[in-house]
Amino acid sequence: MANKDRQCGALHTVKRIGDVVHRPVNRWTHAVHDLLRFLENTGFQGVPRVHGVEAGHEILTYIEGTAGLRPWPVVLRTDSGLEQLAGFLKSYHLAVKSYMPPENTVWCVPDSKWRSGWIVRHGDLGPWNTIWHNGMLAGVIDWDFAEPGETIMDVAQIAWYHVPLRGSDFWRDCGFEEPPELRDRLFVLCEAYGDYSPKNVMDALVDLQESEIARISNWGSNGVEPWSVFYRRGDLEVIKRERDWLKEMYRNLI
């Protein structure tokens, strides 16, 4: 998913009513609901439950806690935050491994197609979609950008946004008092998730960034929502800078 932060403005008008939230229905809502209902049936925790659709809005459970907006909650600046995210992601990947999307599923991403051996990845694993309560990860929200893909792409996305591998000065916005040891944080994430080396994740992140650049360039400039929003607000230039920084820092991080 593109470089968006909830502090820059949500893509949807979300209204909380008691213990549920109401969000506008989109063409991909059915796909997301099918995934979330599968997770509920498996007993997987930490994701919204679907309560149906009413008056053009989907109704989902509200997950109590604080979103990881900038400056981040303290836990996100620690190894524990990365370890909890990696643990959640590994558990999710194991839970969703047996999930088979219905034929002709419509995803938010226009060109997404299911392939054997893939899983349905979250697709938007930024801090803004994580909810924290008393130093613990309470859940991950906003599954609109779910799409078929490889598990390593979810790990790479966490590395991108949570290590964070976004440039030499981005740590200030996150609330770090001193520059974090990015290489150490990347290694913590990879060790906690398992399966992939830091080099594997870095290579996947470069591919992910190139993919996002292509999507915003192609769809954003042609008025395809929500990429046209990302295009207009300058996300393309931001991601290009972050990609160039990552390539320059590549050897120092692995």
| Residue 88, CA distances (Å) to 26, 36, 82 in order | 27, 15, 10
**Which residues on adjacent β-strands are paired with residue 120?**
148
Sequence-separated (6 or more) residues with CB below 8 Å from residue 163: 82, 180, 182, 185, 186, 189
What does the pLDDT read at residue 11? 61
SS3 184: helix
What does the pLDDT read at residue 90? 98
Return the DSSP state at 72: P
What does the pLDDT read at residue 111? 87
Q: What is the pTM of this model?
A: 0.94
Sequence-separated (6 or more) residues with CB below 8 Å from residue 235: 2, 3, 4, 216, 220
d(CA 6, CA 84): 21
Backbone phi, psi, residue 77, to 5°: -95, 10
What does the pLDDT read at residue 13? 80
Domains of the chain: 66-253 (3.90.1200)
Sequence-separated (6 or more) residues with CB below 8 Å from residue 45: 139
d(CA 222, CA 73): 37
d(CA 48, CA 60): 6
Identify residue 211 by its one-letter amino acid code: S
Are 8 and 233 in contact, with CB atoms under 8 Å apart?
A: yes
d(CA 249, CA 254): 9
pLDDT tens per residue, the chain (254 residues)? 544 443 333 466 899 999 999 999 999 999 999 999 999 999 999 999 999 999 999 999 999 999 999 999 999 999 999 999 999 999 999 999 999 999 999 999 998 999 999 999 999 999 999 999 999 999 999 999 999 999 999 999 999 999 999 999 999 999 999 999 999 999 999 999 999 999 999 999 999 999 999 999 999 999 999 999 999 999 999 999 999 999 999 999 98
What's the full length of the chain, in residues?
254
Q: At what angle do helices 235-253 and 198-215 cross, to 10 degrees?
A: 160
- Of 97, 220, 115, 213, residue with least CA distance to 160: 213
